[in-house]
Amino acid sequence: MQIFFISILVLGILGFAFAALLALAANYFRIEEDSRVATILAILPGGNCGACGAAGCHDFAAKVARGEVAVSGCLVGGEKVAKKIAEIMGTEGFEVHKQVAAVHCGAKADQRKTKANYSGVKTCLAADLIDGGGLLCSYGCLGYGDCVCACPFDAIHMKEGLPVTDSEKCTACGKCVAACPRQIISLRPYDFKVAVACSSHDKGAVTRKICPVGCIACLICEKQVPEVFKVVDNLAVMDYSKTGVNCDSAIEKCPTKCILKH
Amino acid sequence: MELFGIFFAAFLINNILLIRFIALCSFFGVSTKINTSIGMSLAVVFVMTISSAVSWVVYHFVLSPFHLEFLRTAAFILTIAALVQLEELYLKKMVPTLYRAMGIYLPLITTNCAILAVAFLAIDYRYNFLQSMIFSLGVSFGYSLAIMLFAYIRERMALAPIPKWFQGYPIAFITAALMSLAFLGFTGMFGL
Amino acid sequence: MNLWKDLNAGIVKENPVLRLMIGLCPVLAVSNNATNALGMSAAVAFVLICSNWVVAAIRKLTPDEIRIPIFIIVISTFVTISDYIMQAYYPELYVALGVFVPLIVVNCIILGRAEAFAYKNPVLNSVLDGIGMSLGFALALVSIGVVREILGAGSVFGVTFFNPATAATIMILPPGAFITIGFLMAALNKLEKKVL
């Protein structure tokens, strides 16, 4: 009988002791956190993608609360989130420049010419390391979808071997840009819906042989819309700061149709 | 020398995951990526060493004197749950980087079989305090080794052409079988 | 009828070991022969049914914030009871199961069902769910045990069929457990035509 009461007593005291210890610890180890951090954190998309340059959403919220970073720093959240954060912080006046990812290759899977059969690991990184995946074009898209895997927002998908971005879902976090081993993805302004679908620096004659839709540096686009297009090192590049300029003539007159409207 | 034997036996020969089969749910659940495995290993090492120490003290200084050894199941689990909570509070304040590295695995460890198993085994083997500390260190390092090896293999396997019905858990189990076979080879080393 | 569904779910459709993938530790460890498997299933069944019953009975009284520690105390009580019953009446089984008997406390199945089902359902449903889950667990565990014992020791439940010396001893060692359950899951995937 005695053991009955002793066991209840001992277990009870043990439980009580731990509970008291926990209560004390919770008090002693309490962290004073700016209450705004929690509110800001709740608004953020929470992807911890790092596009803002901070180490995760919690770090960004802390930095905003301390005033170290602009309220529009979260590229993923965009204007909506920036507005809400500005309300919390009591600031006004911010600029949000929405960007999306643009893929600079237009060769679909059946248009790519190969010099060898690649049967290695099916990722772009591996294929690029092993003699460019057996493709003749050493600048173009390999088509194994590393960018698709990297995207946390489901905004890029493979269609006929080429990645296609969904401009509404894309938050310009930059993960696909970093994932592409050939660096053929870059960020363009959301409003400027034109991109050169080629990254090849091969001479025009070479490009013509290995790709039907590659840039041959014929200079036609540069003559049509000189403010935006410039041919540098056998490849047409666009100056995206010239928003509002009409590029339709360059798009129409390009012989290989490698400038695309999105 | 005896302490080395205890450590080595716990670390490799009787590896807690691959030979004793303890803590398997977390093993298969967490080992799909390397960083989650590292977080889990850190949490396990940290929690296991402290918990086994406190459990040992509770058993020998609270339960034994009153002949209440039968209460050890409840007492140990109470101790471990409270300790995990305490450790979480402590880390959050004192070493926030480590806290964030462990993430959600710290509270998840409360139901990790390995922590409770080590407490029980230390009692069954009648270790003194130092021996049980070395034992729990060995077990937690063995856990970390096994889970990190497994994570490395699993990350590679994600790219391999596996037959359709074996994808996911079945091939993971067969991989674990091969690892376990390899660890069986350590039996009898140093006469242990 | 709802009661029949609660009983049935745990056996095949939501089999805790093979579909829900919880409670794996004892499955691999004690399935090296069918007798141990049966013994462990019985212990788990006892604890699961009793704890589901008690948790469902006191569910209106337990505050939400401390429900997990309360579940654990309830479960550990029944585990201690079954531990001592086994020690007294089935000592060889107790030695064979070893540290896995007290480890039933942190068996995901029991805590999981208490949290997911017994806390929210009346006593009768919870008990039936406990019975269903235990049957499912037993089914999985004993079938693995039988396979391992036949291939590894040439016997079933201690009844020898062929010379153990010619059996594949690896099946009763740790790797054998992993292999068996790996193939079993692959077979189930094929049967259900779905990869888990």
Among the residue ranges A28-37, B164-173, C113-122, the one predicted with the least confidence is A28-37
- Judge contact between B119 and B55, C-beta under 8 A: yes
Which residues of A fall within a CB distance of 8 Å from B94?
Answer: 29
Cα-based distances in Å from A202 to A39, A112, A136, A234: 52, 15, 11, 6
Q: What is the pTM of this model?
A: 0.70
Instruction: Convert the pLDDT of each residue in C22-73 to its tens digit.
Output: 777 788 888 888 889 999 999 999 999 999 999 999 988 887 777 777 888 8
For residue B19, the chain C residue with the least C-alpha distance is C174
Q: What does the alpha-carbon distance between residue C101 and residue C87 come to, in Å, rounded to a whole number?
A: 10
How many angstroms separate the CA of residue A181 from the nearest CA in chain B? 17
How many angstroms separate the CA of residue B120 from the nearest CA in chain A? 18
Dmax (CA) for chain B in angstroms is: 60
Q: What does the alpha-carbon distance between residue B76 and residue A260 come to, in Å, rounded to a whole number?
A: 67
CA angle (C135 as vertex; C142, C182 as ends), nearest 5: 45
DSSP string, A113-179: -BSS---S-SSHHHHHHTGGGGBS-SSS---S-HHHHH-TTS-EEEETTEEEE-TTT----SHHHHH
What is the reported pLDDT for C56? 92
Which residues of B fall within a CB distance of 8 Å from C72?
Answer: 77-78, 81
Q: What does the alpha-carbon distance between residue A36 and residue A65 come to, in Å, rounded to a whole number?
A: 7
Position B172 pLDDT exceeds 80: yes
- Judge contact between A219 and A213, C-beta under 8 A: no
How many angstroms separate the CA of residue B85 from the nearest CA in chain C? 12
Beta bridge partners of C61: none
Distance, CA of C55 to chain centre = 19
Max mean pLDDT among A40-44, B33-37, B125-129, C158-162 falls in B125-129
What is the reported pLDDT for B111? 67
Q: What does the alpha-carbon distance between residue C117 and residue C115 come to, in Å, rounded to a whole number?
A: 6
Domain total in chain B: 1
Q: What does the alpha-carbon distance between residue B55 and residue B63 come to, in Å, rounded to a whole number?
A: 10
What is the reported pLDDT for C174? 85
Say what the ipTM of the complex is: 0.81
Residue C4 tokens read as: 């029949």
Residue B126 tokens read as: 């009648």
Position A24 pLDDT exceeds 80: yes
Return mean pLDDT, chain A.
85
Which phi and psi angles does A235 have, rounded to 5°? -140, 140
Position B110 pLDDT exceeds 70: no
Q: What does the alpha-carbon distance between residue A145 and residue A158 come to, in Å, rounded to a whole number?
A: 7
Residue spans per domain, chain C:
2-148
What is the reported pLDDT for B133? 94
Instruction: Convert the pLDDT of each residue in B52-80 to its tens digit.
Output: 999 999 999 988 888 888 888 888 988 88
Return mean pLDDT, chain B.
86
Burial C39-78 (b: 16+ CB within 10 A, else e): bbbbbbbbbbbbbbbbbbeebeebeeeebbbbbbbbbbbb
Beta bridge partners of A259: A196
Confidence of residue C173 (pLDDT cuts 50, 70, 90): confident
Q: Is B158 on the interface with C (CB under 8 A)?
A: no
Domain with CATH 1.10.15.40 in chain A: 35-89
Give the Cβ contact number of residue B25 at 10 Å: 19
Position B179 pLDDT exceeds 90: yes
Closest C-alpha among B88, A224, B164, B113 to residue C195: B164
Q: Is A8 on the interface with B (CB under 8 A)?
A: no
Confidence of residue B190 (pLDDT cuts 50, 70, 90): confident
Q: What does the alpha-carbon distance between residue C69 and residue A35 come to, in Å, rounded to a whole number?
A: 30
Instruction: Convert the pLDDT of each residue in A58-86 to its tens digit.
Output: 778 888 888 777 777 777 777 778 888 88
What is the reported pLDDT for C195? 56
CATH (one of 3.40.50.300, 3.40.50.800, 3.30.70.20, 3.30.1330.10) for A99-261: 3.30.70.20
Q: What does the alpha-carbon distance between residue A259 and residue A221 come to, in Å, rounded to a whole number?
A: 9
CB-nearest to C178 from B74, B121, B173 is B173
Q: Is B165 on the interface with C (CB under 8 A)?
A: yes
- Judge contact between C49 and C57, C-beta under 8 A: no
Is B132 domain-assigned? yes
CB-nearest to A21 from B86, B92, B159 is B86
For residue A18, the chain B residue with the least C-alpha distance is B82
Percent of chain B with pLDDT over 70: 95
Q: Is C70 on the interface with B (CB under 8 A)?
A: no
Half-sphere exposure in the Cβ direction for B177 (13 Å, CA) = 20
Contacts of C60 (CB under 8 A, 6+ apart): none
Is B1 domain-assigned? no
Distance, CA of A81 to chain centre = 18
Residue B166 tokens read as: 């074996």
Is B3 domain-assigned? no
How many angstroms separate the CA of residue B100 from the nearest CA in chain C? 24
> Is B121's CB within 8 Å of C80's CB?
no
Beta bridge partners of A232: A235
Among the residues of chain C, which ranges form H helices? 2-9, 24-29, 34-57, 67-89, 91-97, 108-113, 123-153, 174-192
DSSP string, C33-55: SHHHHHHHHHHHHHHHHHHHHHH
Which phi and psi angles does C31 have, rounded to 5°? -90, 20
Residue B51 tokens read as: 């918990």
- Judge contact between C134 and C49, C-beta under 8 A: yes
How many angstroms separate the CA of residue C53 from the nearest CA in chain B? 19
Position A94 pLDDT exceeds 70: no
What separation, in Å, do the N-terminal and C-terminal C-alpha atoms of chain A show?
84
User: Which of A5, A7, A121 to mutate to probe the B interface, most B CBs <10 Å?
Assistant: A7
Confidence of residue A14 (pLDDT cuts 50, 70, 90): confident
Instruction: Convert the pLDDT of each residue in C6-23 to its tens digit.
Output: 777 777 777 777 777 777
Instruction: Convert the pLDDT of each residue in A171-225 to its tens digit.
Output: 888 889 989 999 999 988 888 889 999 999 989 899 989 999 999 999 999 899 8
Which residues of B fall within a CB distance of 8 Å from C181?
Answer: 173
Beta bridge partners of A162: A159
Find the length of chain B. 192
Position A96 pLDDT exceeds 80: no
Percent of chain B with pLDDT over 90: 35
**Greater confidence, A18 or C8?**
A18
Give the Cβ contact number of residue B186 at 10 Å: 17
> Is B117's CB within 8 Å of C23's CB?
no
CATH 1.10.15.40 for domain A35-89: yes
Range of the domain at B64: 11-18+30-191
